[in-house]
């Protein structure tokens, strides 16, 4: 039976463009905040890492909190769009603040400034914006194919933006003067671009009415749950926990790839190689995303595609390690591209997988928790990205790295090599293990058949 279509091509493109705004924040912050704070401001990498980790403890509860608020929101714009639209204003302001630490302040005041700006950005504004943006996957269409397409469009924009940010930022900052004022100016430009694009994206789609989302069924009883019950619903969903774990590992992976700027600068002696490796990562991801909807249909679901993709990713990263130790940069670039090609399908169908995960909660618990379910996206980004950046700081400090030194000890160079070569491989292996157990589509079909609902039922969320 053919599923009803809800979206035009421009709705999908408009929605996907929202990740330009998200990655203006995420790619810029995770790739460059540590090197800015250590080599420009002169802060200690270990202290910065500790502040970031402590920030994660403070804002960890906000993901489920904002997800629950989205589920309970009723406005002319819908449930999620108000949070996406207005949350980004705070993102823009606090992103600039993270890269505008006053050089005239004492060290304690500089650490405090960064900690407050970073915590507000991640714990409040990015959380509200990102969960709302992700939840729209379930709120603007009930068509499973359109959800996969939305994920592909979204991450094509995401990785294109990451590629651009990682490729041009070092040179951009240098052309602006290379000092603290240059970092601040670049942050302002990125924040303005993100604010404009986020506004366009949030207004380019329209949420379905609650009546249509629930096929005319009343949800009064279903929506009456508090924050504690929402948390319990999530914990009871084993697939939610798996997706959270995968998302966290992905962000840890990205943090180590971002730390490649240290590796390029000090080990390979050419910081401009960071841009080339950004191309090797993001172009294959974009190519994979283009073909993901077709491959999902060909292989009749997401599970096989995700598994085969990450098998390729593990092989690719293992070969990057080999090429790194023999000192062959061209081979490192080739195998980096192979690994990224394998990671692409999961990136493209992840939002659709979360929608299936939300359906699993409805089938097993009788609750619609779309906004709360998508808290795994923000939770994964914040915990994985934040802890990843913190780990980079701790390991660099442990190795004897000092940001403003003209040379670094061999222990620091060895640590940079370990972070860039070995840790991404380890994280990919762990993701593959989790994905091998994440066949939520088959489980949903099994439950439906067991209840006599029929395997051709469409998503009700």
CATH number of the domain within which 318 lies: 1.20.1250.20
pLDDT classification of 88: cutoffs 50, 70, 90: very high
- How far is residue 53's CA from residue 411's CA, in Å, rounded to a whole number? 24
Q: What is the pLDDT of residue 222?
A: 46
pLDDT classification of 377: cutoffs 50, 70, 90: low
Handedness of CA 324, 329, 330, 335 (dihedral sign): positive
Percent of the chain at pLDDT above 90?
45
In a domain, 294, yes or no: yes
Residue pair 359/442 in contact by the 8 Å Cβ criterion: no
In a domain, 156, yes or no: yes
Q: What is the pLDDT of residue 448?
A: 85
Please tell me the least confidently modeled range out of 32-41, 56-65, 273-282, 359-368: 56-65
Range of the domain at 313: 15-207+226-450
- Hey, which of 5-9, 291-295, 298-302, 330-334 has the most confident mean pLDDT? 330-334
Contacts of 72 (CB under 8 A, 6+ apart): 223
pLDDT classification of 343: cutoffs 50, 70, 90: very high
Round to the nearest angstrom and report the end-to-end CA distance of the chain. Answer: 18
- Hey, which of 70-74, 134-138, 235-239 has the most confident mean pLDDT? 235-239
- How far is residue 312's CA from residue 316's CA, in Å, rounded to a whole number? 6
- How far is residue 87's CA from residue 374's CA, in Å, rounded to a whole number? 16
Residue whose tokens read 């808290």 = 375
Higher pLDDT, 396 or 351: 396
Count of domains in the chain? Answer: 1
| pLDDT, tens digit, 9 for 90 and up, residues 285-307 | 889 988 888 888 788 788 999 99
pLDDT classification of 234: cutoffs 50, 70, 90: confident
Residue 71, CA distances (Å) to 81, 100, 374, 445 in order? 12, 35, 11, 25
pLDDT classification of 311: cutoffs 50, 70, 90: very high
In a domain, 2, yes or no: no
Residue 459, CA distances (Å) to 291, 325, 422 in order? 23, 49, 40
Higher pLDDT, 373 or 140: 140
pLDDT classification of 455: cutoffs 50, 70, 90: very low
Residue 161: which of 19, 349, 16, 277 has the closest Cα?
Answer: 19
Contacts of 413 (CB under 8 A, 6+ apart): 266, 267
Mean pLDDT over the full length of the chain: 86
Contacts of 253 (CB under 8 A, 6+ apart): 388, 423, 424, 427, 428, 431
DSSP string, 57-117: HHHTTHHHHHHHHHHH---TT-SSHHHHHHHHHHHHHHHHHHT---TTS-HHHHHHHHHHH
SS3 (DSSP) at 342: helix
Q: Is the pLDDT of residue 456 over 50?
A: no
In a domain, 221, yes or no: no
149 alpha carbon, distance to own chain's centre: 18
In a domain, 179, yes or no: yes
For residue 309, the tally of other CB atoms under 10 A from its CB is: 23
Tokens found for residue 120:
């507000």
Q: Is the pLDDT of residue 460 over 60?
A: no
Q: Is the pLDDT of residue 459 over 80?
A: no
Which run of H or of E encompasses 418? none
In a domain, 460, yes or no: no
Exposure string for 417-447, b = 16+ CB within 10 A, e = fewer: bebbbebbbebbebbbebbeebbbbebbbee
pTM for the complete prediction? Answer: 0.71
Tokens found for residue 345:
């399908």
Contacts of 366 (CB under 8 A, 6+ apart): 222
In a domain, 457, yes or no: no
In a domain, 8, yes or no: no
- How far is residue 153's CA from residue 19's CA, in Å, rounded to a whole number? 9
Half-sphere exposure of 439 (CA within 13 A, CB side): 12
Q: Is the pLDDT of residue 1 over 60?
A: no
């Amino acid at each position: 039976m053919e599923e009803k279509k809800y979206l035009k091509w421009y709705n999908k493109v408009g929605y996907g463009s929202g990740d330009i705004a998200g990655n203006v924040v995420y790619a810029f912050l995770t790739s460059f905040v540590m090197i800015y704070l250590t080599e420009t401001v002169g802060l200690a990498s270990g202290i910065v890492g500790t502040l970031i980790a402590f920030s994660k403890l403070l804002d960890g509860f906000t993901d489920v909190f904002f997800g629950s608020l989205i589920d309970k929101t009723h406005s002319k714009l819908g449930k999620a769009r108000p949070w996406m639209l207005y949350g980004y204003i705070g993102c823009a302001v606090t992103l600039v603040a993270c890269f505008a630490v006053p050089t005239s302040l004492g060290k304690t005041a500089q650490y405090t400034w960064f900690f407050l700006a970073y915590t507000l950005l991640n714990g409040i504004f990015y959380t509200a914006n990102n969960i709302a943006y992700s939840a729209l996957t379930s709120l603007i269409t009930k068509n499973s194919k359109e959800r996969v397409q939305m994920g592909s469009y979204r991450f094509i924009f995401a990785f294109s933006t990451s590629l651009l940010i990682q490729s041009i930022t070092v040179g951009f900052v240098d052309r602006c003067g290379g000092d603290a004022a240059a970092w601040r100016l670049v942050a302002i430009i990125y924040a303005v671009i993100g604010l404009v694009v986020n506004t366009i994206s949030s207004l380019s789609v329209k949420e379905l009415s609650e009546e249509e989302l629930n096929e005319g069924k009343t949800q009064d009883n279903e929506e009456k749950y508090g924050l504690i019950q929402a948390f319990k619903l999530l914990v009871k969903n084993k697939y939610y926990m798996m997706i959270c774990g995968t998302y966290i590992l992905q962000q840890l992976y990205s943090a180590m790839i971002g730390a490649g700027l240290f590796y390029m600068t000090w080990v390979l002696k050419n910081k401009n190689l960071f841009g080339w490796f950004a191309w090797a990562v993001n172009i294959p991801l974009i190519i994979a995303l283009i073909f993901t909807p077709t491959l999902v249909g060909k292989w009749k679901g997401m599970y096989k595609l995700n598994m085969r993709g990450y098998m390729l990713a593990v092989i690719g990263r293992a070969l990057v390690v080999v090429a790194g130790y023999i000192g062959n940069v061209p081979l490192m670039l080739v195998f980096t591209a192979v690994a990224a090609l394998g990671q692409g399908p999961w990136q493209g169908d992840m939002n659709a997988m979360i929608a299936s995960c939300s359906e699993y909660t409805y089938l097993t618990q009788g609750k619609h928790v779309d906004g709360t379910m998508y808290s795994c996206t923000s939770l994964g980004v914040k915990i994985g990205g934040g802890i990843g950046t913190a780990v980079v700081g701790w390991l660099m400090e442990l190795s004897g790295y000092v940001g403003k030194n003209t040379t670094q000890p061999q222990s620091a160079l060895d640590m940079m090599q370990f972070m860039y070569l070995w840790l991404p491989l380890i994280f990919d292996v762990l993701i593959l293990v989790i994905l091998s157990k994440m066949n939520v589509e088959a489980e949903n079909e099994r439950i439906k058949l067991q209840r006599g609902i029929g395997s051709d039922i469409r998503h009700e969320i």
